[in-house]
Every structure is written in structure tokens, then in C-alpha cells.
């Protein structure tokens, strides 16, 4: 696994170019918005908000007019871009830079949705499990975990693409931005989460896992 500080530095330099990944991400994000019932959410916490592109999408076109949004990211350049993006919704949308810890500045059981897209595929398995615990901490019982990440292709073409991606990752993580295909659903502790949806969405040969799970208890 790449050093987390090196990954943050990579995305500090990558900056606004992250928005160019919409060509393969947007199909999965649209499915996540639908399956996660974001149109009914009144308090959304996003871990790894990046440039704020998804936040602006949600605030402009999806979330109820009274919904509040909290985004966090470890990259200074991403936070600067996201702050500018959510400025039209000042008063109900805010973003914060983290220190790299897998924590969000939110009280226990206060959020309807915990959202994270194309972030868990950057993390080690131990860090994924820690972030899932953080999601469980801030979500209300019955709240939804909504995540999307790279996964393994299911067909001939998509399977080939994901294998090639894994080869590039093994050569050097920077070649693929630190992301690698993985499978998230088995990592969710069944005593904590009930998986509602777990789907593979492919666009231009790249496959994403779209997962929505309910916080139990």
C-alpha cells in the first residue's frame, strides 16, 4: 500500500484534474444517488469530498432545500476547490480539512447518509474497517452508508481492464492514482450493517462497486 501522506501529496498536485474522471465515475455516482435515496436525505456527510464536484451536484439538483452537507478531505488543494464549489450554499454546506485521520468533525448519530466515493480503494483493509466504524459512529440508526469504488470487472473486457489496472498498481501506485480494484461488501461487519444494494456498474471498460448499507442498532 502507498504511504498515505504520499497519496495526499499526489492529490494536492492533481487538483482540479480529478474532475476529468467523470467519464467513468458518473454512471456509478448516478446509481449511488438513486439507490442511496439521496433525494430524501437531510444530513449528508462525505468523506473524501475532493474538488466538491459531487457536493455541488447534490446541493444543486438532488438534496432537499433544507439539507445540510459536511465534506472532509486531507488534501489542502482539494479543500480549496471544494470550498469554492459549495460557496453558493453557505449556511448549510461546509468543508473541512482533516489531518489524515479517519475521523469526521461530527457528533454521534447525527447524519442520514455517510458518503464516500473513490476513496476506499485508496485505503488499506485496516483503514477501510476503521472508516466503516467512523461511518457507523456518525450515522443515525437506519442511516445509510453510500460508497462507490473501483472493483473487478465481471465480463471479458471489464475483467481485462481491471487486471491491467492491478498490474499498473503493482508497478507503481502513482500510475493509477493510488486506487486499485477491490470488493467492499465482505468487509462490512454483519452485526453493524445490512447491505441493501451491491452492484457493479461499468463505463468505458472500468467497473465500480456501488454499495448501500443500512446502519443497524
Q: What tens digit of pLDDT does each residue of 28-62 get?
A: 999 999 999 999 999 999 999 999 999 999 999 99
Rounded distance between C-alpha atoms, residue 117 and residue 38, angstroms: 14
- pTM exceeds 0.85 for this model: yes
Cβ atoms of 52 and 85 closer than 8 Å: yes
- CATH code of the domain covering residue 130: 3.40.50.150
Rounded distance between C-alpha atoms, residue 17 and residue 34, angstroms: 26
139-150 β-sheet, strand order: 93-97, 68-73, 43-47, 111-117, 139-150, 206-215, 193-203
How many CB atoms sit inside 10 A of residue 35's CB?
17
Nearest-5° angle of CA 7, CA 192, CA 135? Answer: 35
* pLDDT exceeds 90 at position 5: no
Range list of H helices, 36-124: 53-61, 76-85
Q: What tens digit of pLDDT does each residue of 111-128 get?
A: 999 999 999 999 999 999
Count of domains for the chain: 1
**pLDDT at res. 14:** 84
* pLDDT exceeds 90 at position 93: yes
Percent of the chain with pLDDT over 90: 89
Work out the burial of residue 134: count CB atoms within 10 Å of its CB; fewer than 13 is exposed, 13-18 middle, 19 or more buried: middle
Q: What tens digit of pLDDT does each residue of 158-169 get?
A: 999 999 999 999
- If you compute the radius of gyration of the chain from its CA atoms, what whole number of angstroms results? 16
Residue 8's pLDDT band (boundaries 50, 70, 90)? confident
Average pLDDT (184-201) is 97
Sign of CA dihedral 143, 140, 131, 50: positive
**pLDDT at res. 12:** 84
- Helices 53-61 and 22-35, axial angle in degrees (round to 10): 40
Whole domain around residue 149: which residue ranges? 4-215
Amino acid at each position: 500500500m502507498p504511504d498515505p501522506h504520499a497519496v495526499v501529496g499526489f492529490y494536492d498536485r492533481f487538483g482540479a484534474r480529478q474532475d476529468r474522471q467523470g467519464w467513468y465515475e458518473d454512471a456509478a455516482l448516478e446509481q449511488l444517488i438513486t439507490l442511496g435515496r439521496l433525494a430524501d436525505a437531510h444530513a449528508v456527510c462525505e468523506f473524501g469530498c475532493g474538488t466538491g464536484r459531487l457536493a455541488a451536484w447534490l446541493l444543486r439538483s438532488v438534496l432537499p432545500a433544507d439539507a445540510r452537507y459536511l465534506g472532509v478531505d486531507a488534501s489542502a488543494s482539494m479543500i480549496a476547490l471544494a470550498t469554492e464549489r459549495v460557496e453558493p450554499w453557505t449556511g448549510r454546506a461546509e468543508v473541512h480539512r482533516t489531518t489524515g485521520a479517519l475521523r469526521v468533525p461530527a457528533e454521534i448519530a447525527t447524519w442520514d447518509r455517510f458518503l464516500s466515493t473513490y476513496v476506499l480503494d485508496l485505503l488499506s483493509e485496516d483503514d477501510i474497517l476503521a472508516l466503516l466504524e467512523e461511518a457507523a459512529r456518525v450515522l443515525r440508526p437506519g442511516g445509510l452508508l453510500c460508497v462507490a469504488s473501483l472493483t473487478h470487472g465481471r465480463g471479458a473486457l471489464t475483467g481485462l481492464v481491471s487486471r491491467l489496472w492491478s498490474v499498473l498498481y503493482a508497478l507503481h501506485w502513482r500510475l493509477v492514482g493510488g486506487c486499485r480494484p477491490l470488493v467492499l461488501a465482505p468487509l462490512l461487519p454483519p452485526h453493524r450493517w445490512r447491505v441493501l444494494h451491491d452492484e457493479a456498474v461499468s463505463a468505458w471498460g472500468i467497473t465500480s462497486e456501488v454499495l448501500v448499507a443500512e446502519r443497524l442498532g
